[in-house]
Chains A and B, each alone.
Chain A
Amino acid sequence: MITTIEQLQSYLESFSEFSKHSAGRDLGWLRKLRADAFARFCEVGFPTTRDEDWRFTNVAAIAKSSFRLADKTETSVSQGDLESHRISESICRLVFVNGNFSARLSSFADLPSGVEVSSLSAQIEKDPASLERHLGRYLNIQRDAFSALNTAFAGDGGYVHVVRGIVVEGAIHLLFVSTGNSSGQAPLMTHPRNLIVAEPESEVTVVEDYISLDESVSFCNTATELVAGDGAIVSHYMLERENRQAFNVSTLRMQQGRGANVSSHSVLLGGAIVRNNVHPVLAGEGGECLINGLFAGTGEQHLDNYMLVEHASPHCGSRQFYNGILNDHAHGVFHGRIIVHKDAQKTDAKQTNRNLLLSDNARIDTKPQLEIYADDVKCTHGATIGQIDEVALFYLRSRGIEESVARKLLLSAFAGECLDRMKPGAARNHVEKLIDESLSSFMQSCEESAGELKLSERELHWEEVG
């Protein structure tokens, strides 16, 4: 435990303030949920690198800082500020500024019937019973301090509910905006809490999109519970593109029913220290899960992906594909844990992590971890670490394509593997544009450090467990 008394004190003050004003403070079950979670957080504190699940990611920078919750007064953010972050063809957009829902900036215009979308705070006021059945039922606050902290401050976020058999076209866009204050106060923290409930045989796409409007420090600790009923088809996108000072910890907990098909797409482009937890539980027979991700870091960015795939039922399939591109001093982590429970016979689990290191100082730690308690399963895993293919680069250049353009083409092709796994549509188009912009800015920083590029031994960390 590295959380000092001072820091705990600051969280305690925030919590008691939050308890006085938060939505649902009078609901016994919710109050208990939050209080238990806060107690758990106080008990364990932030993890350290001695904790196996956090070996490669040091969160001291988060633990040692004091953050405060934003007050709920309306901000000066305007529609114009968000214009370039719009997903064209999204059917609705919920905007949260520093963790608080902004009705003024949101739009629900094109929502079909059978779909309920609102802020969690509004839903708590309107129909708390609909939440009680799900909220906090899946996320494990015992094993993860950040999840506990999020639950303690669970007050606002996105709520999506799709009625049985309804197919929602287009994407539901949850936009989380962080923007600083100039008053010299402590940096802001937010704990967005999202709940996505897709009833049996429904179909929906939800995009969580995290952005900064300026260069101020912030700590975003977000958690999403996604419930996919029997035969439901859900695509979830987590897009991290905050500024290079931002700390972002996200946890996606997916609960899949019989024959449910859920895709999780994570695209990490921004942030200083980013931890992306994806935790599906395949709880019904014949479920399918795609866990697809791209992380591209440069400068001093630290991008950690922690996958925990639980096969709890027979005949389920999971496929994990994560591609990493790391430049400068960036540090990437891929931890792919697969647990196959005793009864999950005929499990088919696959895991692939591919990485490109563009500089001598870039680093990747990749670690598969398979725990198999059933005896008739197929589990494969593999990881590769390489550089830009110099032979391919020369081939492109020999046809007249400029070196920087050729490099970008090769990076785009590598990132394109992740795009190809996304269903064509509004969300994918949005992601494609973001990746293209990000790789272009990458190429600029590559050119600046081109002198350092040479083939030599890299810092490789490769470990196999189970």
Chain B
Amino acid sequence: MSLLEIKNLHASVDGHEILKGIDLTINAGEVHSIMGPNGSGKSTLAQVLSRHPAYEVTQGQALYNGKDLLEMKPEEAACEGIFLAFQYPVEIPGIGNAYFLRSALNAIRKYKGEDEMDAMDFLPMFREKLKLLEMDDKLMSRSVNEGFSGGEKKRNEILQMAVLEPRLAILDETDSGLDIDALKIVAKGVNALRNKDRAMLVVTHYQRLLNYIVPDFVHVLVDGRIVRSGGKELALELEEKGYVYEHEARQAMLA
């Protein structure tokens, strides 16, 4: 059984159709990359899969681990093992980072019927993950993402992912706005989490990230549809020829 199986997925926001029939199958252990021009629906796909309530699915289905993902609330999807690394991580004044993360971890553990983790057990594990992302633990006593630099916010997303250990991680333009050093740290964090049980869906506009997080499959999303799929070499080809080429090829095909 595939970990994620999407068939003919259509989704709209405010009455505008953004996704116009997505088919995508992801197996455990695989890393897939979704590439595409701005406005093609990449982020919408990421948001729909993490069950953002603003997106309405109008057609199609998505099975996650054999269950109907489209019936799940965001917190249920998260507890089932789906994690979205946000393109724009949210600042939440008044809620401490460490407190937030432990609450999230315990919510997931409770859902799975596991014992909640107390602060004593949480801290050593948390410190380990901080080291992986080369993050200053001073940041953790602050409010969630408050006063973080762009790079710190993105690293914080991967830190959360490292703590919550999802089965399907969706990275939404995690590379945007990162300098090369920050990009390497983020990629190192992501690569450390790759294993045979975990799948990843890496959404990106640029090929650059894929030099560091090497995907097994690349899909090109244009105007709400996947127009081409291939191996990692497809990313390089896109980098060379640009999305316009893909778009034109598709127009020609339709004609």
Contact = CB atoms under 8 A, between A and B. Distances in A.
B53 A394 contact: yes
Interface in B118-166: 143-144, 160, 164
Interface residues of B, number: 32
Given A391-B90, A395-B90, A414-B94, A403 B100 contact: no
Contacts of A414: 94
Contact of B107 (A389, A391, A405, A416): A405
Contacts of B50: 398
A300 interface: no
B78 A399 contact: yes
Contacts of A389: 90, 92
Contacts of B94: 412-414, 416-417
Contacts of A402: 75, 107
Contact of A403 (B75, B90, B103, B104): B75
B93 interface: yes
B75 A397 contact: yes
Contact of A398 (B74, B95, B111, B143): B74
A166 interface: no
A60 interface: no
Interface string A143-159: 00000000000000000
Interface string A379-412: 0000000000101101111111111011001101
B160 A399 contact: yes
A399 B164 contact: yes
A55 B101 CA distance: 46
A386 to B, nearest CB: 13
Interface in B59-100: 73-75, 77-79, 83-84, 86, 89-95, 100
Most buried by A among B89, B92, B93, B164: B92
A409 B107 contact: no
A396 B100 contact: yes
Most buried by A among B51, B74, B78, B103: B74
A417 to B, nearest CB: 6
Contacts of B83: 398-399
A400 B90 contact: no
B86 A399 contact: no
Contact of A400 (B53, B89, B93, B108): B108
Given A401-B75, A403-B75, A396 B92 contact: yes
A406 B50 CA distance: 16
Nearest to B77: A398
B250 interface: no
A317 B92 CA distance: 30
A401 to B, nearest CB: 5
B160 to A, nearest CB: 7
B92 A401 contact: no
Contacts of B160: 399
A391 B88 CA distance: 10
A130 to B, nearest CB: 44
B164 A400 contact: yes
B52 interface: yes
A403 B73 contact: yes
A409 B103 contact: yes
Interface of B: 50-53, 73-75, 77-79, 83-84, 86, 89-95, 100-101, 103-105, 107-108, 111, 143-144, 160, 164
23 contacts: A389-B90, A391-B90, A394-B74, A395-B90, A398-B78, A398-B83, A398-B84, A399-B104, A399-B107, A399-B160, A399-B164, A400-B75, A400-B108, A400-B164, A402-B107, A405-B103, A405-B107, A406-B75, A409-B100, A409-B103, A413-B94, A414-B94, A417-B93
Interface of A: 389, 391-392, 394-403, 405-406, 409-410, 412-414, 416-417
